[in-house]
Structure 1
């Protein structure tokens, strides 16, 4: 698939500090791909996506979005292609009600009223928030707020959606519900998803994992390859998957499985197969 985002030799530092936050970063994101970007705090993840969204300007290097280079002259046009959902949704709300908030960007872009009304309804239906259309955003739960924030972005019909640790403030149930919503939205609109995350379930749902370390791209791999790195995950600010911990303990038993990572369903299948042979 053709790359929708291409980052080439990107360098960035704040206020001419000695140390670069990003140093010669190069990677690509394919059309329709879900890319997770992981790494310890300070590795440059959030800075990277803010550069892609035009919120920051690189010292050197190039960012191409859908084949066109991002510049100061076209940054506003390019932002229509890339929508971002932040960690705290309260920072994104501007409307008095949920439907007002989703309609805000459409109204600013001069969309005809009937089309705007239809898009608001469609996106609220998609994120299962239609029944809250007249509710004040401040009165919603954390997961509901994030779904409204996503609706506001999706209504603008971007080609790329960036989740900057959008699930980190949610409880496990809210996190899984939001990821299910993102998956449905992605399939509905053939969106490209870039996710900054520390969540293992979020990583497992993605197509590819980009590891940032000390301002550089440390590796690019499949979720299974990344989640199978064992103790090394701790140095990247991640937990070790439960199934990997089980696999490690099984190595000294009659139920040893020669894999470093499997999903919970796969682990169950593997154990059942071994039990059937006993």
Structure 2
């Protein structure tokens, strides 16, 4: 699988005379079509990393490659067109008077022909379930609806990479889950690469790989299943998933469950199989 993002020995300070690096020689890659989550405590360097990838910040040291090309001040605007970014607070992204105006804004800036623009806006709004709100004012929408519109604005631009910077953190659990499912549908439909900064376990669970950052460095890279079995999850700002806690209680009660991480469906199948043998 082709690597669409490569980060090599990336280092960054917000202030030149700061005693510590915000990022300190960080290296990793993201494969085309992959969902990579980055987790860690506040100040660990997560958001700084994606802002450097999107060209919002310029690294002090190191290299970033997007689709095989070194990111430079000369090509940063071109490379940004390959990346769609959704932030924590969607209100900061709205510029249109109506939902459809807002989704069309980026397309207008790219000079997309009017008829194609209308088709893309409609398709994007349908994909996130917001087509019936296209004439509404963004300010009158709920938090989850606003994030759907923000994602629609990104999807309409057809980027190769979507970055979610704590995009679900201001939503309630139900809203977070709904939004994650929307992103999953978009990823599957357009084969978009997803890079997600998150603390949400449901979001992490959908990832192909997870990077744990600590004090500006990469502490580990693993699968979600490997991460969820760690005994120090609370120190990473995460709680063990419900299925991990439940499986452990079942083992303590004498049920011979195999070790490893299970989704809810997998755990249900394991339990039924054990019961059928009793």
Q: How high is the TM-score relative to the length of structure 2?
A: 0.97
1:257 Cα deviation after fit: 1.7
Partners of 2:255 and 2:111 lie apart in 1 by 63
Gap regions ≥5 residues in structure 2: none
1:142-166 per-residue CA deviation (whole Å, 9 max, x = no partner) reads 1111110001111111100000010
RMSD over aligned Cα atoms: 1.0
Aligned to 1:265: 265
2:252 aligns to what SS in structure 1? coil
CA contact (8 A) 1:247 1:256 kept: no
Aligned to 1:249: 249
Partners of 2:62 and 2:243 lie apart in 1 by 40
1:1-278 alignment runs, 5 A limit: 1-16=1-16, 17-229=18-230, 231-278=231-278
Partners of 2:186 and 2:250 lie apart in 1 by 39
Partners of 1:40 and 1:239 lie apart in 2 by 13
1:239 aligns to what SS in structure 2? coil
Partners of 2:12 and 2:260 lie apart in 1 by 36
1:111 Cα deviation after fit: 1.3
- Which deviates more, 110-119 or 6-15? 110-119
Partners of 1:43 and 1:167 lie apart in 2 by 19
1:274 Cα deviation after fit: 1.6
1:203 aligns to what SS in structure 2? helix
CA contact (8 A) 1:88 1:166 kept: yes
1:202-242 per-residue CA deviation (whole Å, 9 max, x = no partner) reads 1111111111111111111111111111x311111111111
- Which deviates more, 45-54 or 246-255? 246-255
- Which deviates more, 232-241 or 2-11? 232-241
Partners of 1:223 and 1:240 lie apart in 2 by 11
Partners of 1:115 and 1:271 lie apart in 2 by 51
Partners of 1:146 and 1:189 lie apart in 2 by 19
Partners of 1:124 and 1:186 lie apart in 2 by 15
Partners of 1:40 and 1:46 lie apart in 2 by 11
Partners of 1:214 and 1:276 lie apart in 2 by 48
CA contact (8 A) 1:247 1:260 kept: no
1:55 Cα deviation after fit: 0.6
| Residues paired across the two proteins, number | 277
2:265 aligns to what SS in structure 1? helix
1:176 Cα deviation after fit: 1.1
1:59 Cα deviation after fit: 0.4
1:219 aligns to what SS in structure 2? strand
1:249 aligns to what SS in structure 2? helix
Partners of 2:255 and 2:65 lie apart in 1 by 49
Partners of 1:30 and 1:96 lie apart in 2 by 37
Partners of 1:250 and 1:23 lie apart in 2 by 42
